[in-house]
Structure 1
Amino acid sequence: MGRSWIAAGKFLLLDYTELAVSFSFFFFFGWFARLFRRGRRDRMPLNWPVVGMLPGALLNLHRVHDWAVKLHRRVGYTFWFRGPWFLGMDYLCTADPANVHHIFGLNFSNYPKGSEFAEIFDILGDGIFNSDGEAWKAQRSRAHAVVSSRPFRAFVADSIRDKVAADLLPLAAGFAERGAVLDLQDFFLRLTFDATCTFVFGVDPRCLSAGFPTVPFARAIDDAMGAIFLRHAAPRAWWKLMKRLNVGEEKKLAAAREEIDRFINQTLTEKRIDKGSMNLAEKADLLSSYIINSNINEGDGGDSDDWTSTKFLRDTALNFMLAGRDTTGTAITWFFWMLSENPEVESKILEELKELRRSSDDDDDDDDLVVFDAEEVGKLVYLHAALCETLRLYPSVPFEHKSALRDDVLPSGHKVAAGTKVLLSAYTLGRLEGVWGEDSAEFRPERWISEKGKVKHEPTYKFLSFNSGARTCLGKEVAFVQMKTVAAAMVYNFQVQVVEGAAAGQPKLSIILQMKGGLPVKLKRRTMN
């Protein structure tokens, strides 16, 4: 009898176990099917248990920017991305101009960069891009005074013209003469690295010179940017562990920081030695301007709260170096890619340049390499429009992220709790039909020209390439002077032909929207008749 009860118990236990397993599988597949149907309906990535939407994002990582555009088009201009549990990777993603205006302008104080941003970009120290509140206001006021000053603007214009004349055009002519392939992206990034070093430090490291040498300071900044990108992509706990163990990209970042600090400290020491003889008319670079205006005391300590400290100058210089170094070179690269895809636009720009030369007193010789100065490029409306159109489609900084201080409700109706991370895609914003019209995917510089033939202004919450609101880029005009000077000289003097079969035109996974694999081209000298 006892054995019968035991047997019956085993049978019932097995029966209940099978039933529980069957029910679990039924529940799981039913839940999966519901999620799948919902995912097919709204085309959102599946929100899996534990890992969230991360698998869908990883599957589309190779085309993440275009994937984001498709998501915003299908599910709305604002949606939630749910990351793995407990890793703090949930984001409210938005490309709604009304939300951008609210976050960057109307309720600016509620959306600082935040402590997490400063932690990711800790190499920037307490500089303007990591700062919030009163510290940010004070730094921006000082930076604005320098960047908007007449001596600095003149220094920038003269420096970039001289660099184009002395290095860019002769090197380009050499490639044209040899018929050699040139990576135009590397070419322009070297140029803008030298130019930005000159603007910020008053030093030309000659990264763009014969043989394309490796410059330790440039390599260090490349390594730093790579590590910063990983910090954006990986969970905070992962990269902090790598930092503690000093391995991988974090090891590279530590070495890069040492090289960056060595270069800046050496430059700062030399300027302090020369400070007695400094004249703002002769030394108008940013670092010299700060030293002269701040009346720095030699041997100052490193108190980060001291406006005249070595640390303050180090952080300020590096912030401006990283802001201007890759963004401009990347934009010019995409500009020439767009010209290769739209030859009719190149023809219009060339005709505008020819008209400008005809109106000047200078006669062009076929052997001359023509350089345009800042006053001349300031008259080029169509070129300016084509650069704006390039930046609309390929913003150098493709995304921004903010963190809410207090509970809020966005114009889109989405509730934002304190601590919520908001991800804003400038790349998506520039490609939405509801923002730019049915032809938003087309490269059409004419959209930037008014009926009176002037450059048309677009609000920054719609055109986010130079940030928006109170944090609108201080160097916007400096960037346009550089881009127009370089673009005008290259278009006027050379035909730029993308190498046939080159896998160009795809964005690279990076903080800056560089082109994956570079832009291989061949150059041919133009003859003006």
Structure 2
Amino acid sequence: MDGEEENVGPFRRTSTRTRRMATRMASALASSDNRAQAALARLEALESDNAGVEVVDLNDDEYGSTDEEDPVLMQKKQSKIMKRKTRQGKALEKRAARSFMDVLQETEPFIRSAMVEAHATPATPFSPPTGLHKYIAIFLVVLSWILVHKWSLRKQKGPRSWPVIGATVEQLRNYHRMHDWLVEYLSKHRTVTVDMPWTSYTYIADPVNVEHVLKTNFTNYPKGDVYRSYMDVLLGDGIFNADGELWRKQRKTASFEFASKNLRDFSAIVFREYSLKLSGILSQASKAGKVVDMQELYMRMTLDSICKVGFGVEIGTLSPDLPENSFAQAFDAANIIVTLRFIDPLWRLKRFFHVGSEALLEQSIKLVDEFTYSVIRRRKAEIVEARASGKQEKIKHDILSRFIELGETGEDGGGLGDDKSLRDVVLNFVIAGRDTTATTLSWFTYMAMSHPDVAEKLRRELCAFEAERAHEEGVALVPCGPDADDKSFAARVAQFASLLNYDSLGKLVYLHACVTETLRLYPAVPQDPKGILEDDVLPDGTKVRAGGMVTYVPYSMGRMEYNWGADAASFRPERWINEDGAFRNASPFKFTAFQAGPRICLGKDSAYLQMKMALAILCRFYRFQLLEGHPVEYRMMTILSMAHGLKLRVSRAV
């Protein structure tokens, strides 16, 4: 039997051991219960039948002697032998599975009867304890269930799945590095299935599958009820969490605003203003030799920017004294906790009892709502005041004002004008305009520090751009050497910033390539799950079931060699520049940092505008050095922010 088991696979070996255990238990029962005799006989017959299976031997006469000297002929014979063994093994696996299931079906009435008698029949001195029947029956049922479960998962690609809990244990063990954990699996299998207690996640990294989900069969993959249930407390019915008609209404309004030249020009002015404020803070830190947390500063800059561009209010978090920002802290805490819900099977229980992370989430959302509703009230009051004074021109044309007006006139078709809906609009645009942009800026700065050759090449492009643009505009640049005073330095920075606008920034090809390369390796949204309305088959043949989740993984996709070549893990901005020196685009289903299909990011151009505006100024006039020993790791939340911030020292570069 040893030779046979070696060639017929793990199920054959497992089922053989299981049948032997089942035979011994059935024998014990049969000694006192005639109804078990049939089951015992059937098990023994199955054991005897499989014991007599022919096993191919190398000395089998059909294949001749193994002493054959001709190596070519010998190789052919061995090949035939292995093929026959393989066919034999597969046949044995199928027969073993089929026979064992037949035995289970035959013994089911006996097991049920034994369980009943265990409760109803009193024990006698001449029979085994009635409880034994029950325990043996339960053991057989559980053992059979485990075997069938393992058999069903024999071809599954992904982490090992256990009954009831799925892959929860492995996922929790790797939670702090989940994105890299997925990279390891997706580099071997382009599609990976991860079972969880109440649902199943299918992770995809193949552009063909991504296009199918995000475009070809878009309607079958909404955000879904599961995702909404996790994120509802934070994002509500906002554009990132909505589906159907509500999503279409918000997208239509937002797309109209983002397409407006007025908004684009206004955004450029605001982004320049806050980039200069950030430059002033860095200049003082450089002079004082202070350590700064660039991620925190970027978060402040982008929050101030989105509040002014999106909601028409100034909140002043980037003031020189850097005031405490309770909203940002609460928003980040809420973001972390709702992300944890995706793998925490007890979050609903904790929410019900108001304990643990869910209690903290409730407190954080309260602070977030206080800030958000105050912004809404302020904008509504300003609109009312402008109308009362007859000065309609004072009504700001920001995104929030547009939604307020639509709600008042009924143009939105209902559902967007109440404060709760406006609150959801605000928070969704905050996460889009603050977190994603600040996160990308942080990773860009880290990449520039880690690749000094890239930083130097970028600085040369910026210096050449400055000279060319100053000549075009007839601007006499303020002399600014290493020993320049604060006033001269600030004036030179302001001059350079005045040369930056939407059109001129388009000339900075290498800067654009550096930002895009950062997004390839460190996408602001590292993974994006979708619900499944109906059963479907992905282009690679993977079956997905209704009620489950399909998640495309930008973080993993950017590191796959089958997407980007052998140097996929390397930071190389040159991959985005063609032979003519122009920017080279990639398929949005391969480079998914801004999504693709009907849900492609509306703020893509605005995000590039703000990032390039800030980085052009900072990379032209400053050098950064990471604080020695400072850990740079991502934090598990919906956005790929840095867990410990980005602490560094800054110095002027003129």
Smaller-chain TM-score bracket: 0.7 to 0.9
Correspondence 1:230 to 2:350 = no
Look up the match of 2:182. Answer: 68
Per-residue deviation, 1:71: 0.8
Look up the match of 1:139. Answer: 250
User: 1:363-396 CA deviation, whole Å, 9 max, x = no partner?
Assistant: 1432424243224322211000000000000011
Report the more deviating stretch, 242-251 or 154-163: 242-251
Flag the 1:473–1:280 CA change in 2: closer, same or farther, 3 A. Answer: farther
Correspondence 1:154 to 2:265 = yes
CA distance in 1, matches of 2:413, 2:296: 36
Flag the 1:445–1:279 CA change in 2: closer, same or farther, 3 A. Answer: farther
CA contact (8 A) 2:462 2:620 kept: yes
CA contact (8 A) 2:535 2:546 kept: yes
Per-residue deviation, 1:308: 3.2
Correspondence 1:181 to 2:294 = no
Percentage of matched positions with identical amino acids: 37
Correspondence 1:374 to 2:501 = yes
In structure 1, what residue type is equivalent to 2:446? Answer: W
In structure 2, what residue type is equivalent to 1:328? Answer: T
Per-residue deviation, 1:124: 2.2
TM-score (structure 1 length as normaliser): 0.87
Look up the match of 2:584. Answer: 456
Per-residue deviation, 1:467: 1.2
> Given the alignment, which residue of 445, 460, 467 partners 2:573?
445
Report the more deviating stretch, 250-259 or 375-384: 250-259
Within 5 A, what are the aligned runs for 1:85-104?
Answer: 88-104=198-214
Correspondence 1:55 to 2:163 = no
Per-residue deviation, 1:282: 6.9
CA contact (8 A) 1:467 1:473 kept: yes
Per-residue deviation, 1:207: 1.6
Flag the 1:281–1:7 CA change in 2: closer, same or farther, 3 A. Answer: closer
In structure 2, what residue type is equivalent to 1:332? Answer: L
SS at match of 1:233: coil
TM-score (structure 2 length as normaliser): 0.71
Correspondence 1:259 to 2:400 = no
Flag the 1:266–1:392 CA change in 2: closer, same or farther, 3 A. Answer: same
CA distance in 2, matches of 1:517, 1:279: 46
Per-residue deviation, 1:82: 1.7
Flag the 1:7–1:250 CA change in 2: closer, same or farther, 3 A. Answer: closer
SS at match of 2:342: helix
In structure 1, what residue type is equivalent to 2:588? Answer: T
Look up the match of 2:618. Answer: 490
Report the more deviating stretch, 253-262 or 131-140: 253-262
Per-residue deviation, 1:335: 0.5
Flag the 1:279–1:346 CA change in 2: closer, same or farther, 3 A. Answer: farther
User: 1:246-284 CA deviation, whole Å, 9 max, x = no partner?
Assistant: 223323333333333333333333322332166568723
Moved over 4 A (4+): 5-10, 277-282
> Given the alignment, which residue of 382, 390, 397 partners 1:284?
397
User: 1:216-267 CA deviation, whole Å, 9 max, x = no partner?
Assistant: 32233123212212222312xx222222222233233333333333333333
Flag the 1:480–1:192 CA change in 2: closer, same or farther, 3 A. Answer: same
Per-residue deviation, 1:9: 6.8
Look up the match of 1:408. Answer: 536
CA distance in 1, matches of 2:243, 2:593: 21
User: 1:431-479 CA deviation, whole Å, 9 max, x = no partner?
Assistant: 1000111110111111111233222211211111111111011111111
CA contact (8 A) 1:508 1:515 kept: yes
CA distance in 2, matches of 1:294, 1:335: 38
In structure 2, what residue type is equivalent to 1:175? Answer: A
CA distance in 2, matches of 1:262, 1:288: 19
User: 1:97-121 CA deviation, whole Å, 9 max, x = no partner?
Assistant: 1111000001101111012222222
Look up the match of 1:120. Answer: 230
> Given the alignment, which residue of 511, 514, 523 partners 2:638?
511
Report the more deviating stretch, 489-498 or 216-225: 216-225
Look up the match of 1:78. Answer: 191
SS at match of 2:161: coil
Flag the 1:289–1:516 CA change in 2: closer, same or farther, 3 A. Answer: same
In structure 2, what residue type is equivalent to 1:222? Answer: D
How many residue pairs are counted as aligned between the two chains? 499
CA contact (8 A) 1:327 1:512 kept: yes
SS at match of 2:341: helix
Look up the match of 2:310. Answer: 200
Flag the 1:525–1:395 CA change in 2: closer, same or farther, 3 A. Answer: same
> Given the alignment, which residue of 333, 337, 342 partners 2:446?
337
User: 1:133-183 CA deviation, whole Å, 9 max, x = no partner?
Assistant: 222222211110012111111111100101111x20111011111111111
CA distance in 1, matches of 2:351, 2:569: 41
Report the more deviating stretch, 451-460 or 364-373: 364-373
Report the more deviating stretch, 489-498 or 277-286: 277-286
In structure 2, what residue type is equivalent to 1:322? Answer: I
CA contact (8 A) 2:339 2:637 kept: yes
CA contact (8 A) 2:311 2:379 kept: no
Look up the match of 2:608. Answer: 480
Flag the 1:234–1:421 CA change in 2: closer, same or farther, 3 A. Answer: same
Within 5 A, what are the aligned runs for 1:10-49?
Answer: 44-49=158-163
In structure 2, what residue type is equivalent to 1:513? Answer: L
Report the more deviating stretch, 241-250 or 317-326: 241-250
Correspondence 1:327 to 2:327 = no
Higher relative contact order (CA 8 A, sep 6+): 1
Look up the match of 2:406. Answer: 294
| Unpaired segments ≥5 residues, structure 2 | 1-31, 33-122
